[in-house]
Amino acid sequence: MTAWPELLGAPDEVAPRLLGATLRHGAVVVRITEVEAYGGADDPGSHAYRGRTPRTGVMFGPAGRLYCYLSYGMHVCANVALGEEGVAGAVLVRAGEVVDGLDVARARRPGSSDQDLARGPARLTRALAISLDHDGADLASGAVTLELGAPVDDVAAGPRTGLRLAADRPWRFWMPGERSVSPYRKHPRATAHHPDL
């Protein structure tokens, strides 16, 4: 039996479960307010769409591992692997509110307002000091830990941010009214369906 039964299921079903959960790395704790779900072979917007690679291996399980990658060659993004082992799935942690270690997070993001410290996936990883070295980390007992709370009652959903393929899939979830939620940005060449489908 997995150590994370709450993370088993389809990506779009599990992703909202992470809202209100906390990520901790050292002194800094972030309460998650926005996420995006990603699947595997059925999701053209996913890194795992074309199968397992050295980069995407963590997405294939086990659930409860941290999948980190570099976006635009400079920004680290952090995801929580989910679902049954061998089936790709992950949830991108898009934004959150720093609820502990505020001074440390401010030092890592000088000049940022408290609202913006972890508002967006790259800002969030910088506030938490998550790097590519944390790829594959066990979120139950590693340097970065995840703690799930009670399910959030009020959840909004919409299309994922900045995707070109499968851009209409409503797999972005957030907590309405939270100031730390990042703005939605549509890709200028967004398509609803992959041309090969």
pTM of the model: 0.93
* pLDDT by residue, tens only, the chain of 197 residues: 357 999 999 999 999 999 999 999 999 999 999 999 999 999 999 989 998 998 899 999 999 999 999 986 679 999 999 999 999 999 999 999 999 999 999 999 999 999 999 999 999 999 999 999 999 999 999 999 999 989 999 999 999 998 888 888 999 999 999 999 998 888 777 776 544 43
Number of Cβ within a 10 Å radius of residue 86: 10
Domains of the chain, start order: 5-148+157-174 (3.10.300.10)
Six token digits for residue 21: 């959960």
Six token digits for residue 104: 């440390």
Q: Which residues contact 130 (CB under 8 A, 6 or more apart)?
A: 25, 66, 68, 76, 78, 124, 144
**CA–CA separation, 144 vs 134, rounded Å?**
8
